[in-house]
Each structure stands twice: as structure tokens, then as C-alpha cells.
Amino acid sequence: MRVLTAVTGTLALALALEIPAQEIFVDGFESGSACEWSEVTDGDDSQASALNLGQTDDCDGNQTSILGEIHETTDVDFTVRHMTDEFACSVDPSIAITTTDTLRFCIYFSCDLGTTSLTCPGATVDATADSGALGCCTTTDMQTVIQILPTCTGTSDDDGTVWTEVSTSGGATGACAPYTLVVHN
């Protein structure tokens, strides 16, 4: 997998909160392609080979902005991040979505130990990833935020793995569709 650019800076996430961020471009401009942008990363088309955003904990306020594109109706982009549950903080991963095309966005969670449970908020639907991880999805063509509050029953820690998925499945119609996905712990 080739990541074109990584820039550390500050981005605004929902409600104008200023949080340190890392910005990653997962697709790049290629003159003369069918889309304005074309896929230049390999391996982010499945949950098993997702773009790894590293490790974080639930106290650090870490977020990463993914600038990507669904370049054809069969394209799928996945990211993965491991989260550690620290004392006095809550595991509450979220994604902030910006797009003008109709795309499907999902966020999944799987506990390291115990049994994963979560409730999907508002206009999202329950989903299960190929790996069995539980999650929530929405199909949208505007700015949206999805936050989940997973619980790992049978253990005192909510350590686990978060995946995001962007695709045209589930009724979405976008192709050659740019998006910004901000993944927050």
C-alpha cells in the first residue's frame, strides 16, 4: 500500500472542536483516467488488508483525516485502528463524513476480550463485517457524523479494533466520488 502524503496539523471535527490530526491521501490524481482521481493504493479493498492507522487510546483525542475516492462502483476503502481503553476515559470511536456523492459509510468494532455489543445511533443501521465485527452504516450524500459506544462484556476493559468502510454498496450510487473521512478515537 502506498500512502501519498501524510501531514500533521489541526483539523476541525464536529462542533468545531480543534483536535490534533494526521491527514492521509489514499488516492491520487492521474491525468486522463476515467475519473479525475484514480486508485494508487493497493490492499485497502478488504477488511483483512485495511489501511492501518496505528494504535491509539481513548484518552488521547487522536484523529486521522482520510481523503479518498470511490473510483468505480466495485471499489471499497477500509481503514483499521486498534484502541486501548484507559482508566477514566471512554471508547467511543466516530467517523465524520464529507461527500457530495451518495456513498455508504460504516464503522465496525470488535473487542479484544469478551463479547462486543453496541447500539447504532440515529439514522444508521446495524451491520456485521465479514470478520464478524459489529457496526453501524449509513448511506449519505452530505456531511454526517457516526459515533458508536461499544461495550466488551465479560471484561473490565473495552480494548478493541475499529474498522471503517466506504463503498457504493447498500444502495449507494456514487462512482468517481471523492470523500473525506475523519476517524476519531
- Mean pLDDT for the chain overall: 77
* Site of grid cell 484523529: 63
Closest CA to 67 of 15, 16, 3: 3
Half-sphere exposure of 149 (CA within 13 A, CB side): 5
- Beta carbons within 8 Å of 46's beta carbon, 6+ residues apart: 76, 78, 130
Across the beta sheet with 17-25, the strand order is 5-13, 17-25, 63-70, 177-184, 94-99, 144-147
* pLDDT per position as a tens digit, 93-128: 999 999 888 889 999 999 999 999 998 998 899 999
The model's pTM is 0.79
Q: What angle do CA 90, 165, 47 make, to 5 degrees?
A: 95
* pLDDT per position as a tens digit, 128-180: 999 999 999 999 888 999 999 999 999 989 999 999 999 887 666 666 788 89
As a whole number of angstroms, the distance between CA 82 and CA 66 comes to 17
How many other C-beta atoms are found inside a 10 Å radius of the C-beta of residue 47?
19
